[in-house]
A = this chain, B = another copy of it.
Amino acid sequence: MPPTTRRPAPDATRRSEKSRRAIYDAALSLVGEVGYPKTTIEGIAARAGVGKQTIYRWWSSKADVLMEAFLDLAEQANQQAGGRPGDHTLPDTGDLAADLRLVLRATVDELLDPRFEIPSRALAAEGVVDEEMGRAVVARLLEPSLQLYVDRLRAAQDAGQVRPDVDPRIALELFVAPLAQRWLQRTGPISHEYTDTLVDYALYGLAPR
């Protein structure tokens, strides 16, 4: 093949992109249906209508396929919410409470979307009992999202809106973790009103001022 044709032709790129999306969709729907332990590369390939080797060419394991499928899903949600491709920052209008309310309301909507909810529960359940898997989910999916809150809270500290002695990595958990627990453990309903309340309590505290 001459060097000039090394870059895939537009048709080949389109075909690859179509396969990639079919593989992500297959991986997410399969894990939601049969759970993580019973999801296999063979099963994903069969459902996506591609050969097993196509998957192994791009990903090293089923965990790897699934992580990237979730990252892709999050990226789609980001773009649907008006975000730019690859832009992973929280809004900063200067009003911390308003910005957090906005982001958490969008998170509620995402958690209630069955396309996200069913595969996410399967992956989360596996992470609870399988430490290696749990740590991979944290490193690749959860912690990068949580770091966006760290950045936003640091900016608020610089602006004097958050106590300077507060550790942003712990502080964010006051509003993120209650929502996560209600969703994951079903300890209560989730709604925009609920997350608005969390933001209020977390920023201004439970003790009287």
Contacts and interface: CB of A to CB of B under 8 A. Distances in A.
B206 A203 contact: yes
A68 B197 CA distance: 34
- Copies of this protein in the complex: 2
A185 interface: yes
26 contacts: A125-B125, A125-B129, A127-B186, A128-B128, A128-B185, A135-B186, A138-B186, A142-B185, A143-B187, A161-B208, A162-B206, A162-B207, A163-B206, A166-B201, A166-B206, A170-B201, A171-B201, A173-B182, A174-B174, A180-B181, A180-B185, A181-B181, A181-B184, A202-B202, A204-B205, A205-B205
A196 B163 CA distance: 17
A25 interface: no
A150 interface: no
Q: Which of A181, A197, A198 has the most CB of B within 10 A?
A: A181
A6 interface: no
Interface residues on A, range: 35 or more
Nearest to A207: B203
A194 interface: yes
A84 interface: no
A35 interface: yes
Interface in A129-165: 129, 131, 134-135, 137-138, 142-143, 146, 153, 160-163
Contact of A208 (B122, B143, B160, B181): B160
Given A170-B194, A197-B170, A184 B187 contact: no
A177 interface: yes
A129 B138 contact: no
A39 to B, nearest CB: 13
